[in-house]
Amino acid sequence: MDELYSTVKFLIRCLVDDVDSVDVESEVNGNRVKFIVKVPDEEMGKVLGQGGKTINAVRAVVSTLARSKGKNKVQIVVESV
């Protein structure tokens, strides 16, 4: 679980200018993991990407890693602060 959390945090922090403004929370429910990523409004476009392509790529990477850790479902929710 720590590896998934670290991966999400690392990937999101690579996308934004103000790395200290990124906050990631996680919730585990059985074999499901939910990450809540909080970024400032001005950084939302960088995290989401055009048409959601960037965040979907992050989801794909984290989902692949999660499957190797025995987690079937990964959800990443992005919220503005």
What digits encode the pLDDT tens for the residues 4-61? 999 999 999 999 999 999 999 999 998 899 999 999 999 999 999 999 999 999 999 9
Give the residue among 50, 60, 64, 58 at the shortest CA–CA distance from 78. Answer: 58
| CA dist., res. 67 & res. 49, Å (int) | 25
**Based on the structure, what is the number of domains in the chain?**
1
The domain spanning residue 51 has which CATH number?
Answer: 3.30.300.20
pTM of the predicted model, to two decimals?
0.91
Q: Which domain holds residue 62?
A: 2-80
Q: For position 30, what pLDDT does the model report?
A: 87
Consecutive H or E run containing 52: none
